[in-house]
Amino acid sequence: MKKLLLCTGGWSGDRYLSAFLAMKPRFEGYAAACGAEMGVIDHPLDPEGRRTLFTQKLLIPRTYGSYDIVAHMDLDVLIPRNLASVFDALPAEAGFGAVVDPRGSFAFQKAWGFADWTRMSHQAYFESLGLSSERELASINAGVVVFRPGLVADMFAAWYFDDARYAHKSEGDYSSEEVPLAYLSQDAGVFAPLEYRFNRQVFFALHETSAGKAAYRDYRSFVNRARRKARKALGFRSAHVGFGPSYTLFVEDLLKDGNLVHFAGKYPVPEVNQDLLVRSQ
């Protein structure tokens, strides 16, 4: 079976270039551990740029159709040394896999500031976008995704190139790639949810356990103190300028438990014990 692990980044002018260079050896190490080739998307998959780079993830299966199975990971992740093969996590009959959003949970609502839409069920969320199915639907996070190109390439590409889809709704309405990836695969009956450990988002994890909530309180306190000092010394409000030690320890605990940690929501990536991470190639 031909397997390919992909990440995006590395072309001139890419604002994620430094993150790509830092993470590339780790991705290569994980690919080797999974018996997969390592690939880099170093140019837009749609040269005409009809959609954003995020939405262009829909074209991954078509572009890499010579592989039996393809996984893509965002750059803002830490891969633990003991992470199981994400390729083995996708059942043979499934064409697409991703971690399902924890809609309905306190963590989901807290992370998104208790906005009204966070109280929507999965089904209601899709219906609000004019999408319905006889099958059960669930929204996803696309930080880690797995494709079987032979099962999904055509339908994902068809959505991408359908200008009528975007005549009355923006890519933002569809959460770029996430809504079509979830909707099309689930409506076709070829979706399989990945275990939470393959995409453990700090965004939610900080609100899920007592340890996480304590780390979040310390993190916010540390950031607020640092911002006050920055304003006083430099006269401006800084962004993420630091974080307390409990935040780093919390991330390390997630890694020890075999979770790929995803720093969605612009959470900072801390310097963790390197022995916890997959070996570099």
**More confident: 280 or 29:** 29
Dist. CA 72–CA 81, nearest whole Å? 18
Q: Let me know if residue 265 belongs to a domain.
A: no
> Sorting pLDDT into bands at 50, 70 and 90, what band is 239?
very low
In this structure, the answer to whether residues 36 and 87 fall within a common structural domain is: yes
In this structure, the answer to whether residues 149 and 212 fall within a common structural domain is: no
Q: Let me know if residue 237 belongs to a domain.
A: yes
Residue type, position 220, single letter: R
In this structure, the answer to whether residues 239 and 183 fall within a common structural domain is: no
Residue with tokens 């790929």, as numbered in its chain: 260
Query: What sign has the CA pseudo-torsion 192, 198, 199, 204?
Result: positive
Q: Let me know if residue 67 belongs to a domain.
A: yes
Per-residue confidence (pLDDT) for residue 13, from 0 to 100: 59
Dist. CA 245–CA 240, nearest whole Å? 15
In this structure, the answer to whether residues 187 and 226 fall within a common structural domain is: no
Specify whether the CB–CB gap between 82 and 279 falls below 8 A. Answer: no
Count of domains in the chain? Answer: 2
In this structure, the answer to whether residues 56 and 165 fall within a common structural domain is: yes
pLDDT tens for each residue of 71-98: 999 999 999 999 999 999 999 999 999 9
How many other CB atoms are found less than 10 A from the CB of residue 270?
A: 20
Length of the chain, in residues:
281
Q: Let me know if residue 276 belongs to a domain.
A: no
Per-residue confidence (pLDDT) for residue 162, from 0 to 100: 96
In this structure, the answer to whether residues 55 and 182 fall within a common structural domain is: yes
What integer best gives the mean pLDDT of the chain?
A: 90
Q: Let me know if residue 271 belongs to a domain.
A: no
In this structure, the answer to whether residues 122 and 157 fall within a common structural domain is: yes
pLDDT tens for each residue of 111-120: 999 999 899 9
In this structure, the answer to whether residues 93 and 34 fall within a common structural domain is: yes
In this structure, the answer to whether residues 139 and 153 fall within a common structural domain is: yes
Q: Let me know if residue 89 belongs to a domain.
A: yes
Q: Per-residue pLDDT averaged across 159-182, rounded?
A: 94
Assign residue 9 the CATH number of its domain. 3.90.550
Query: What sign has the CA pseudo-torsion 79, 81, 82, 85?
Result: positive
Q: Is the pTM of this model over 0.85?
A: yes
Dist. CA 261–CA 275, nearest whole Å? 15
Helix (H, G, I), strand (E, B) or coil at 146: strand
pLDDT at residue 155 greater than cutoff 90: yes
Contacts of 208 (CB under 8 A, 6+ apart): 105, 107
Segments forming the whole domain that contains residue 210: 206-258
In this structure, the answer to whether residues 81 and 129 fall within a common structural domain is: yes
**More confident: 125 or 16:** 125
Specify whether the CB–CB gap between 281 and 29 falls below 8 A. Answer: yes
Residue with tokens 């900080």, as numbered in its chain: 206
**Where in 9-87 does DSSP place strands (E)?**
37-41, 69-73, 77-78
In this structure, the answer to whether residues 97 and 189 fall within a common structural domain is: yes
Out of 61-65, 220-224, 269-273, the most confident range is 61-65
In this structure, the answer to whether residues 180 and 66 fall within a common structural domain is: yes
